[in-house]
Chains A and B, each alone.
Chain A
Amino acid sequence: MKNHCYGIVNYRVRRAWLAIILFCGVGLISGMFGLGAGWAVTPVLNLIMSTPLKVATASSVTIISLGDTAAVFPYLMSNSLIPIFAVPAVAGLMTGAEVGSRIAVKVRPGFVRYVLIGILLFAGVKLIVTGLSLMGVI
């Protein structure tokens, strides 16, 4: 029989005002260039607000979902959503999020960190490629 170990980490959220300013910057970049900057939320929570990595990843999902809720209304009201494609996407996303959140509780923070670094690298490269293609360089 294998039991899981849940380590309790006492932490205190710091530098909330600085984080608010940085989140404004994240939103500004996202809004100006339409690149999507949700990936930048976790580093701000973890590195600036001193939130543990697992808490930061879970909190970033909440923050992104709140932002996306506000952002989806113009698309809904301007008929930019096609139900036959949107519905399976949401259903798949929710299933993946449910599975992912259960896995995240059980894996070690180091694993989460390496996966996060990989995702950030991928997102960074993708944003550079998108930016260069928008500039007509590639």
Chain B
Amino acid sequence: MEKIVEKPKPPIEGIIYGETAAIITIIGICIAIAGIVVGVTSGNDIVDFQKLVNDLLSGKSEYYIWNHDSKLGDLQHTKYWFFNMLNYGTGIAMTGIAIAIFGGIVGALGIFISMFRSKEVLLYKKGLYTILSLVIVLILILAAAGVISLRH
């Protein structure tokens, strides 16, 4: 029988980021699943799911699919169009995905705030990690606002 020594404890920043991001992501994905169910079952969605699946399987691009299989028109070129389309399943699903992604930003913000719990943590390595966490939060906020584009 092996002896229990002590379970290693992850750093508080890791717990805050992980738990916050995970909970918000799970909520977002649940909303997105509900949106897909509503969209598929309602029969009155902005996306024709049958055409969408056929076009995807035949190798059409996402731009073609949104242009030909949805009723969005020019609205699709606006950022976060789905927040104004919550009466449709696809709008709810896209909003759920957006909420899931925003979970990462809230979690990163949690890391930065948790740095202020003590002067020792805040100024560790001359504040290098505090500055880095602030930079990460700023990059995420600017990316969410569409100011910077970090495709990879």
On A, residues with C-beta under 8 Å from B are 1-9, 16, 27, 30-31, 34, 36, 58-59, 62, 65-77, 79-87, 90-91, 94
Q: Count B-side interface residues using an 8 Å CB cutoff.
A: 58
**A94, B6: Cβ atoms under 8 Å?**
no
From B63, B93, B139, A83 is in contact (CB under 8 Å) with B93
Q: A4-B4, A31-B150, A69-B108 are in contact. List 11 more A-B contacts (CB 8 A).
A: A16-B125, A66-B104, A69-B104, A70-B143, A74-B143, A74-B146, A76-B101, A77-B80, A79-B72, A83-B94, A94-B25
Q: Residue-by-residue, is B81-110 near A (CB-CB < 8 Å gives 1, otherwise 0)? A: 000000000100110111011001100100
- Given the known interface contacts A66-B108, A74-B151, A90-B25, the answer about A84 and B1 at a Cβ–Cβ threshold of 8 Å is no
Q: Taking the complex as formed, is B36 at the interface, i.e. its CB lies under 8 A from any CB of chain A?
A: yes
**In the bound complex, how far is the Cα of B95 from the Cα of A94, in angstroms?**
19
Q: Residue-by-residue, is B135-152 near A (CB-CB < 8 Å gives 1, otherwise 0)? A: 010011001101001111
**In the bound complex, how far is the Cα of B1 from the Cα of A86, in angstroms?**
45
**B125, A6: Cβ atoms under 8 Å?**
no
**A74, B149: Cβ atoms under 8 Å?**
yes
Question: Is chain A's interface secondary structure helix, strand, loop, or mixed overall?
Answer: helix
Please indicate the chain B residues that have their CB under 8 angstroms from the CB of A71 in the complex. Answer: 143, 150-152
**B140, A69: Cβ atoms under 8 Å?**
yes
Can you pick out 30 interface pairs between chain A and chain B where the beta carbons lie within 8 Å of each other? A1-B1, A2-B1, A2-B2, A3-B4, A4-B4, A8-B6, A27-B152, A59-B14, A62-B18, A66-B140, A69-B101, A69-B104, A69-B108, A69-B143, A73-B101, A73-B143, A73-B146, A74-B143, A74-B150, A74-B151, A75-B151, A76-B101, A77-B146, A79-B72, A80-B62, A83-B39, A86-B32, A87-B36, A87-B97, A90-B32
**In the bound complex, how far is the Cα of B152 from the Cα of A16, in angstroms?**
24
**In the bound complex, how far is the Cα of B33 from the Cα of A74, in angstroms?**
22
- The residue on A at minimum CB distance from B32 is A87
**B94, A81: Cβ atoms under 8 Å?**
yes
Please indicate the chain A residues that have their CB under 8 angstroms from the CB of B35 in the complex. Answer: 83
**A6, B5: Cβ atoms under 8 Å?**
yes
From A5, A6, A70, A75, B139 is in contact (CB under 8 Å) with A70
Q: Taking the complex as formed, is B123 at the interface, i.e. its CB lies under 8 A from any CB of chain A?
A: no
Q: Taking the complex as formed, is B117 at the interface, i.e. its CB lies under 8 A from any CB of chain A?
A: no
